[in-house]
Amino acid sequence: MGERPADERVRDFSEVDTGLSAEEAVTEAQRCLQCKKPSCVKGCPVEIDIPAFIARIAEGDFAGAAQVIKENNLLPAICGRVCPQEVQCEGQCILGLKEVPVRIGELERFVADHERKTGSRLPPKAEPTGKKVAVVGSGPAGLTAAAELARLGHSVVLFESLHEPGGVLMYGIPGFRLPKEVVRAEIDQLRGMGVTILTNHLVGTSVPVSELLSYDAVFLGCGAGLPHFMGIPGENLNGVYSANEFLTRVNLMHADRFPEFDTPVRHAGRVVVVGGGNVAMDAARVARRLGARTTLVYRRRKEDLPARRAEIARAEEEGVTFIFCASPVRILGEQCVTGVECERMEMCATDASGRPEPVPVEGSRFVIDADMCIQAIGQGPNPLLVRMLPGIRTGRRGNVIVDEEGRTDLGKVFAAGDIATGAATVILAMGGAKRAARAIDRMLRNS
């Protein structure tokens, strides 16, 4: 798949990937062996019939391909862009044993984009059941649960605390990876299926818990929006952001266009981003687009970076400087950030995660000059609503404890996505939500 040159794309927020042409999609689809026991499907948490949709593309039936995907996934343009296919469907593709696996993600994206341009068809709905379900949170978990429940004939109200639905898809992942018009178009399909989406509704405050529990069933998809901080001196200085706050300001509130929009973001010439996951890459690449010299500090080695390889390569191409085996110990400044003091780390015996344990090297401290420090070291489940629900059990990290079908300890309340797993991926949130929606359906039909 083509991409825009780094020196051009680093100056705007337009999408980096340019997508496949129809000819390229057909040629790629023809590489698929149409395996009788397709291992790729085992790698897909929402169980798309991958060989079937690829076969339609190979025949030039793009609308038919879209219908096959939508039987199991109503958000294909999103998944085709942000799913880590290299460790899921493509990671299991039989062709990968000898050559390059079929580019399933690019094909999924092509089909979804083609359908968006030519007019989309909604999946068929079951007869109305008369049951009402409340869904809290409109990230991939909430959207998937709402779509599945609506498809099964239930009446669904989806509550979202922010002014736009989409969760991390809207406020976290930047537009150059996932254009917002793509997210909006896929969410519009839910409205078309009869789902009522209520934004600016924070369940637990503007919507009382008693109202929530008056529904026949409840699905919680509140995500993991609680940022972690390092707990080092200087974190209260002006110019220190969590990646969540920084990205939300720019992606959702358009702070890059302040004062045209109300929300500002600090104008920094030099930015230090701390972390090594997808969130850190996104924050660093956004900072570059705001014109800052950007340094990413990671405590382990390059090969240990948890972010997707493609996103690391793109951050490098766009001019992000990486410092490996180093960790901040103090943020410097009087009122505002002037620098980040770090120390070198050496890699010792492997830790519980199977990666080498970083240990500080004595006398190795150094300072990176900076006006802004963005911490992207992880985030935990959103605690606000969960604390208000009587009898709901949570784990050590604040995640809601659920069984395999997303059932919590609280009768008719189910949960999936980051609120249950801790920070994970879009497709895992969708897979969990789909299982929970089917369990809710069974419960409602038997009640």
Ligand X SMILES: Cc1cc2nc3c(=O)[nH]c(=O)nc-3n(C[C@H](O)[C@H](O)[C@H](O)COP(=O)(O)OP(=O)(O)OC[C@H]3O[C@@H](n4cnc5c(N)ncnc54)[C@H](O)[C@@H]3O)c2cc1C
Q: Does 424 bind ligand X (CB under 6 A)?
A: yes
Q: d(Cα 32, Cα 339) in Å, to the nearest integer? A: 52
Q: Does 386 bind ligand X (CB under 6 A)?
A: no
Q: Does 33 bind ligand SF4 (CB under 6 A)?
A: yes
Two structure tokens written together for 407: 């059932």
Cα–Cα distance list, 28 to 23, 90, 118, 143, 193 (Å): 9, 13, 21, 30, 32
CB of 198 to ligand X, least distance (A): 9
Is residue 52 left, alpha or beta, with left meaning phi > 0 and alpha meaning psi from -120 to 50?
alpha
Q: Does 102 bind ligand SF4 (CB under 6 A)?
A: yes
Two structure tokens written together for 181: 């018009």
Q: Does 345 bind ligand X (CB under 6 A)?
A: no
Q: Does 140 bind ligand X (CB under 6 A)?
A: yes
Q: Does 203 bind ligand X (CB under 6 A)?
A: yes
- In 3D, which of 338, 342, 326, 344 has the Cα closest to residue 369? 338
Among 10, 29, 50, 331, binds ligand SF4 (CB under 6 A): 50
Among ligand SF4, ligand X, none, partner that 159 touches (CB below 5 to 8 angstroms by kind): ligand X
* DSSP letter, residue 426: H
Q: Are residues 408 and 416 in contact, defined by beta-carbon separation less than 8 angstroms?
A: no
Among ligand X, ligand SF4, none, partner that 33 touches (CB below 5 to 8 angstroms by kind): ligand SF4
Among 26, 63, 95, 237, binds ligand SF4 (CB under 6 A): 95
Q: Does 94 bind ligand SF4 (CB under 6 A)?
A: yes
Among 150, 195, 377, 426, binds ligand X (CB under 6 A): 426
Among 315, 385, 392, 402, binds ligand X (CB under 6 A): 385
Stated as kind and residue range, the H or E segment containing 198 is strand 196-198
- Rank residues 76 and 139 by Cβ distance to ligand X and give the closer one: 139
Among ligand SF4, ligand X, none, partner that 34 touches (CB below 5 to 8 angstroms by kind): ligand SF4
Q: d(Cα 70, Cα 279) in Å, to the nearest integer? A: 28
State the sign of the Cα–Cα–Cα–Cα dihedral 320, 91, 223, 125: positive
Q: Does 251 bind ligand X (CB under 6 A)?
A: no
Q: Does 34 bind ligand SF4 (CB under 6 A)?
A: yes
CB of 99 to ligand X, least distance (A): 25
Among 20, 168, 240, 370, binds ligand X (CB under 6 A): 168
Sheet with strand 240-242: strands edge to edge: 240-242, 372-375, 270-274, 293-297, 321-323
> Interface with ligand SF4 by CB under 6 A: which residues?
32-35, 38-40, 50-51, 93-95, 102, 104
